[in-house]
């Protein structure tokens, strides 16, 4: 699954915007399992 975002946040907390790199979006590959785990975590956090 391909995920595309306008920015990414580095581990040090700084944001890198796609426009700074001359791109419209930053895309990266994610497995279906990791994506589902992310969605489950988001749902769990929202219920709190």
- What tens digit of pLDDT does each residue of 1-48 get? 999 999 999 999 999 999 999 999 999 999 999 999 999 999 999 887
Given a contact cutoff of 8 angstroms between Cβ atoms, the answer to whether 1 and 32 are in contact is: yes
pLDDT of residue 46: 87
Q: What is the pTM of this model?
A: 0.65
pLDDT of residue 35: 93
Q: Nearest Cα to 27, choosing from 36, 35, 18, 19? A: 18
Given a contact cutoff of 8 angstroms between Cβ atoms, the answer to whether 1 and 31 are in contact is: yes
Residue 35 to residues 14, 20, 21, 40, 41: CA-CA distances in angstroms?
Answer: 23, 26, 25, 9, 10
């Amino acid at each position: 699954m391909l995920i595309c975002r306008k920015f990414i946040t580095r581990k040090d907390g700084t944001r890198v915007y796609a426009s700074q790199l001359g791109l419209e979006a930053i895309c990266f590959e994610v497995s279906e399992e990791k994506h589902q785990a992310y969605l489950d975590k988001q749902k769990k956090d929202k219920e709190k």
